[in-house]
Structure 1
């Protein structure tokens, strides 16, 4: 069986870390695209007063999200204090892909956070940033579309335009 066919038949799991407008859009669209979706929000207080999160399930940590080789992990907020710990855990798992939102013109705070935790350059390079196709996305929905299109292209072995 070709690699393309294997990719199309493999389970698709999308773990979105952190409740945010971008994360909400990724979870909602991810379901329509055939991803099993999981929201990970370590801080329960951030969910108070919000409508029920879209997606298949909600958990408070990555261990409960059951990361595996079919899982794409996206951190939907780069301002959270937990990014270093979350990324360290995601990098230790056998995830297919890891990314974090952010401006491509500045070094992301995840780099320093991972270095502080002893991560080497190869580990840091596993974290994609920026994420999504280079379509000039600005709104949460546009960022979600760009990110999910890029993940689909990557899974299918196609050049999706992740380069900036």
Structure 2
């Protein structure tokens, strides 16, 4: 019988460390802090992008703080607040980088405010379409940590080439 390596990981055997994951949470918020904490547990290097002077409690140790999205090909960028005035500029600049994935939190029943903000800045529709929205798994999140779990689960599924969700459905 062949041992399943995932079973060993579940019992505490260390998995090979992942060294090329970067998780960028844009805009300081409780969701951003929870997302970066959970991301660090999953092997992501945590980065908070806050172009203003807002602060947030609960960031994991070692979080890098920046004012703009870094040009990092292994980065998953999650915009954690779609009500900020800087939304269009931050997304435009993120789209100009080599980041792996860019997503924006928000209600899927409404067009995201990023669409008009990016169009007003002259960003072509094909580039606007690179911004994923909605993001995460539909778990009915009602708290910042739940939103973070949903988002991180969706990112991990995407990185691993999986659809996400339960296997028995």
TM-score, normalisation: structure 2: 0.82
Match of 2:59 among 53, 58, 61: 53
Report the CA distance between 1:54 and its aligned residue: 2.7
Paired positions, count: 149
Residue 104 of structure 1 corresponds to which residue in structure 2?
108
Match of 2:148 among 137, 144, 150: 144
Tell me if the contact between 2:137 and 2:153 (Cα under 8 Å) persists in the aligned partners.
Answer: yes
Question: Is residue 2:43 matched to residue 1:34?
Answer: yes
Gaps of 5+ in 2: 1-16
Residue 10 of structure 2 corresponds to which residue in structure 1?
none
In the TM superposition, what are the counterparts of 1:105-120 in structure 2 within 5 Å? 105-120=109-124
Gaps of 5+ in 1: 1-7
Residue 153 of structure 1 corresponds to which residue in structure 2?
157
Greater Rg by CA: 2
Residue 128 of structure 1 corresponds to which residue in structure 2?
132
The CA RMSD over aligned residues, in Å, is 1.7
Higher relative contact order, structure no. (Cα contacts within 8 Å, ≥ 6 residues apart): 1
Aligned equivalents of 2:96, 2:157: Cα separation in 1: 24
